[in-house]
Amino acid sequence: MAFDRIDRQILELLQDDGRMTNVDLAERVGLTAPPCLRRVRALEEQGAIKGYHASLDAATLGYPITVFALVSLRSQAEQDLAAFEDYIATIPEIRECHMLNGEIDFILKIVATDLKAFQEILTTHLTPAPNVASVKTSLTIRTAKSLPGIPVLAED
């Protein structure tokens, strides 16, 4: 997909503020509202914009604990990888799951209400999960940077 300068501006602005009105967005990118809305719809249809959501503060909502878990599986056969991903999808406290290349098969981002709740997730859901060989965890002490989305690169 090719994106021109205006498309990239639209993507960057909406990534920063998904609640921006179409009128404000159009004004910021130098268009009138109807063509701006057509561009936004086209970006959505092309899959460049996957959705809109509110960025919530985990600690304020009772999830002050964030842990990253490195998971190794006994088998890396595609059906075993898919089965693990399907299982992980059922645990709401596991917010991210990324398959990795190398010694570790998956990295998970887990939120919890407290350390006891995290321990329960770990011991009742994660370590006894089918095909799990090992789990190594690291508790987040603080977050120095957490940006949503991706950098919207300038046009070549």
pLDDT tens per residue across span 40-90: 999 999 999 999 999 999 999 999 999 999 999 999 999 999 999 999 999
pLDDT at 155 over 70: no
**Type of residue numbered 36:** C
Give the residue-averaged pLDDT of 14-41. Answer: 96
Write the CB contacts of 68 (distance below 8 Å, at least 6 apart in sequence).
107, 108, 109, 110, 137, 138, 140
Give the whole-angstrom CA distance, residue 112 versus residue 108.
Answer: 13
Q: pTM here? A: 0.87
